[in-house]
Chain A
Amino acid sequence: MEEHPKNEQNQTNQHNQENSEPENSKQASRRKFLRNIGLIGAGIAAGAAALFSGDIFEKSKTKGGKKSVLLTQDNKLVEVDSLELKALEKSPEQQMQLRGREGIPGRRWIWVIDLSRCRNARQCIAACQAAHHLRPDQFHINTLQMQENPHTPAFHMPKPCQHCDNPPCVAVCPVDATFKRPDGPVLIDNERCIGCRFCIAACPYSARMLNWSKPKFEEQDKDLPYNIELNIPQRIGTITKCLMSSDRLREGKLPYCVSACPNGVYYFGDENEDTVTNGTTKESVRLSTLLSENGAYQLLPELGTKPRVYYLPPKNRLFPFEPSKDAEPKKI
């Protein structure tokens, strides 16, 4: 601060020496005057700023200074000065949207379905429809009666969304309503969906459905904040689909259907840990061993969709195949 005016004074002095005409010296004194005014102004401003910051510092000494220990969303303990704490600008709903789109860090959820154990108990379907407030004809998961050809045995095949790693439904969505999460599941945001149904046309597994009319629990659910990981409340004119029970995964629990199965059909787990847990027996096994020892396969792998669901073939079955009379849609 001190040096600057001095330099300038030298410069003006030099200037005066070079041109010693009276008009120039008049100009110089005007310049000097202006400079002094500028200096005074700057000084006042600096003083005011110092006073203001000092005031804040004094206040902070009385109110702040405490440290708070907090748990972050990814389960880390952190220490934060209480001064730094402020209320979130985002509402709980926005928070749920945000974390629903980000997923659970470090996880790669994987699903293995053992066809040798399925006897079409349909309890997975009941649990799923209850959890997601679905109508009886809306199937996030369904068990299909399959038979490759008349000479091969028929079997029941639970079919959830395959949560493809290369999902055709996500590719065609015009508004980013359906999206692939880093931890595996393909989710749907029914506050964004415009109901164009391009994803239904694109999905080769028939895994997606629309709320064609008012959802079953519209009245009951209307005040709930929208949970994108549970897709409740369901909304008219928007897509609904299997979510891998992302809300349960966040709580560290197995998906609704996996826990509801009475016959040990489902294994669910984390590909990164190479471990899956059976939903019925709660027994954990090594994923790679389970897949290789049982000749696991995927649905329509030739389409290049890269499903996150594996099937174990219906070999050494626990139950004989009993066809269901409800499978084939009938004219009433």
Chain B
Amino acid sequence: MDENNAALNKITEDLTFHIRITRGFKIWMGFLLIGLSICLYAYTLQLRFGLGVAGIRDYVSWGMYLSNFVFFVATSLIGMLISGVLGLIGIKWITPVARIAEIIAVAFAAIAGLVIIMDMGRPDRLEYVFIYGRFQSPILWDVTVVTTYFVLSALLLFLTLISDIAWVHKKTDHLPGWVKKTYQVLSLNWTDTPEKNHIIRRCVRILLILIIPCALAIHTVTSWLFAMSFRAGWDSTLFGPYFVTGAFVSGGSAVIIAMYFFQKNYKLHNYITNQHFNNMGKLLVMVMLVYLYFNINEFLVPAYKLKTAEAINLHDLFGGRFALMFWAVQIGGLILPIILMLFQKMRTPLPMLIISLAIFIGSWFKRYIIVIPAQEHPYLPIQYVPYNFKVYTPTLTEIAITLSSFFMALIIITLLSKFFPVVPIRETAVERGLVEEKN
């Protein structure tokens, strides 16, 4: 019994070890906040002078902002794959990874909502979407499902945290009183009774079931923003599943990057092990193979027929203005990582970090490649306008505003992971047989 208690104490100590304000945390947060303020200054310029401070014009009217929005929605989908799908079919190894995936889902879904406001010509009229909203427009569908997904993900994260927060409350005497008080409020006075655990388990289960169709909906609807139009390059019935599988690729790589830094900085080597990197590598290879299959469909079918408008778009991708970016993304961000991750040696932490960074960056540019080139080739010629109307080049202000979304997401992820256990304490204890889970 004493042995048991000692082990339990060790786990709690280990998993709450990082909940303290360190110098490294202050420097990192300082960097994020300074970066964010610079980028938000760029946004004030856009508020003052209009969307024209960005490189978008009447032909390419959806630029980096929108491709970034698609990327954020995509990355948030990983919460559904890991907690929802793998959790419901009872895969055990995901325990220390699931909360990381949920944190990423919450952060990216929340920021996706802000990113789309940055893309509005009149952000001051945001409430019109709710006052005058027309349900015929896919934008309304997107607003509905992204909000729902964010709420579900946040609830899921919170419900699975309740028991851990109660434990943290007991273990963090080094923190100021008001922080402890906050933990107490957040723990909702949880005590380890079978009824309370039963209620939480049931709620979590319902959320896990709800989150799967909702996550599928958010990215399918996001893809429909494009697929519902006539443009060559967007006019595809494949866009829904193409976007959803692509989402697992970018989200999976984001989780691996986060796992690496949490393992190193929060000293979680005994909980996030090499085996987890190995498993995540295999999972990523699987979703990337599916994504590769959709890519082949998406490009080979129109490339075989070469309908006039499709041909112009494809020529630009395969050998024209976007060729470098296109092949870098397809080879460096998709094919090469798949091949590398087939080797067990590559599925260890450091190689996985590097491969995941390549996939993550590739995923971002992949959205750029989907959104922008299709607009540079409308059905009717672009004439009598300045050159920058015909060829889209993002401006510095635009890039800064886009970067602000990453600063905000990183701030959310940093705060959530700093003040709450990244690896679930109770679940780990239950898994190691230190706490008995009564039904």
Q: Which of B81-89, B129-137, B358-366 contacts A (4 or more CB under 8 A)?
A: B129-137
CB-contact partner of A196 in B139, B228, B385, B387, under 8 A: B139
Known: A172-B228, A192-B128. A210 touches B140 (CB 8 A): no
Report Cα–Cα, A204/B59, bound state, in Å: 11
Describe B's contact surface by its main secondary structure: loop
Q: Is the CB of B61 within 8 A of A201?
A: yes
Question: Is A57 part of the binding interface, using a Cβ–Cβ cutoff of 8 Å?
Answer: no
Question: Is A200 part of the binding interface, using a Cβ–Cβ cutoff of 8 Å?
Answer: yes
Report Cα–Cα, A177/B132, bound state, in Å: 9
Known: A175-B129, A303-B230, A329-B389. A210 touches B61 (CB 8 A): yes
CB-contact partner of B382 in A237, A329, A331, under 8 A: A329
Report Cα–Cα, A159/B385, bound state, in Å: 14
Count A/B pairs, Cβ under 8 Å. Answer: 148
Q: When each residue 221-265 of chain A gets 1 if its CB lies under 8 Å from chain B and 0 otherwise, what string results?
A: 000000000000000111000000000000000000000000000
Question: Is B62 part of the binding interface, using a Cβ–Cβ cutoff of 8 Å?
Answer: yes
Report Cα–Cα, A303/B379, bound state, in Å: 11
Known: A176-B134, A202-B230. A209 touches B58 (CB 8 A): yes
Known: A172-B228, A175-B133, A326-B384. A208 touches B139 (CB 8 A): no
Which chain B residue shows the least CB distance to A302? B230
Report Cα–Cα, A327/B130, bound state, in Å: 42
CB-contact partner of A171 in B52, B121, B136, under 8 A: B136
Number of A positions contacting B (CB below 8 A) = 50
Q: Which of A3-11, A137-145, A270-278 contacts B (4 or more CB under 8 A)?
A: A137-145
Describe A's contact surface by its main secondary structure: loop
Q: Is the CB of A236 within 8 A of B230?
A: no
Question: Is A195 part of the binding interface, using a Cβ–Cβ cutoff of 8 Å?
Answer: yes
Known: A210-B58, A327-B384. A198 touches B132 (CB 8 A): no
CB-contact partner of A137 in B50, B129, B389, under 8 A: B389
- Taking the closest CB of chain B, its distance from the CB of A231, in whole angstroms, is 15
Q: Is the CB of B389 within 8 A of A198?
A: no
- Taking the closest CB of chain A, its distance from the CB of B114, in whole angstroms, is 15
Q: Is the CB of B389 within 8 A of A204?
A: no
Known: A172-B139, A194-B129, A201-B229. A142 touches B50 (CB 8 A): no
Residues of A174-219 contacting chain B, CB below 8 A = 174-177, 192-198, 200-202, 204-206, 208-214
Q: Is the CB of A200 within 8 A of B139?
A: no
- Taking the closest CB of chain A, its distance from the CB of B204, in whole angstroms, is 34
Question: Is B312 part of the binding interface, using a Cβ–Cβ cutoff of 8 Å?
Answer: no
Question: Is B205 part of the binding interface, using a Cβ–Cβ cutoff of 8 Å?
Answer: no
Residues of A135-156 contacting chain B, CB below 8 A = 137-139, 142, 144-146
Q: Is the CB of B61 within 8 A of A137?
A: no
Report Cα–Cα, A206/B380, bound state, in Å: 7
Q: Is the CB of A144 within 8 A of B50?
A: no
Residues on the A chain within 8 Å of B389, using CB: 137, 329
CB-contact partner of B383 in A213, A299, A329, under 8 A: A329
CB-contact partner of B231 in A137, A138, A201, under 8 A: A201
Which chain B residue shows the least CB distance to A159? B380
Report Cα–Cα, A12/B375, bound state, in Å: 88
Question: Is A168 part of the binding interface, using a Cβ–Cβ cutoff of 8 Å?
Answer: yes
Question: Is A332 part of the binding interface, using a Cβ–Cβ cutoff of 8 Å?
Answer: yes
Q: Is the CB of A211 within 8 A of B58?
A: no
Q: Is the CB of B128 within 8 A of A202?
A: no
Residues on the A chain within 8 Å of B57, using CB: 212
Question: Is B1 part of the binding interface, using a Cβ–Cβ cutoff of 8 Å?
Answer: no
- Taking the closest CB of chain A, its distance from the CB of B70, in whole angstroms, is 13
Residues on the A chain within 8 Å of B139, using CB: 172, 174, 196, 198
Question: Is B51 part of the binding interface, using a Cβ–Cβ cutoff of 8 Å?
Answer: yes
- Taking the closest CB of chain A, its distance from the CB of B112, in whole angstroms, is 15
Q: Is the CB of B230 within 8 A of A212?
A: no
Residues of B213-227 contacting chain A, CB below 8 A = 225-226
Residues of A38-95 contacting chain B, CB below 8 A = none
Report Cα–Cα, A165/B50, bound state, in Å: 32
Residues on the B chain within 8 Å of A331, using CB: 387
CB-contact partner of B128 in A146, A194, A209, A211, under 8 A: A194
- Taking the closest CB of chain B, its distance from the CB of A330, in whole angstroms, is 6
Q: Is the CB of A194 within 8 A of B126?
A: yes
Known: A174-B134, A175-B134, A201-B226. 8 other contacts (CB 8 A): A175-B132, A192-B125, A200-B61, A202-B228, A206-B58, A212-B58, A327-B383, A330-B387
Listed in ascending order, the chain A residues whose CB lies under 8 Å from chain B are: 137-139, 142, 144-146, 159, 168, 171-177, 192-198, 200-202, 204-206, 208-214, 236-238, 299-300, 303, 324, 326-332
Q: Which 5 A-B pairs have the closest CB atoms?
A: A195-B121, A237-B121, A212-B52, A213-B52, A174-B139
Can you pick out 5 interface pairs between chain A and chain B where the beta carbons lie within 8 Å of each other? A168-B229, A194-B129, A196-B119, A214-B49, A332-B386
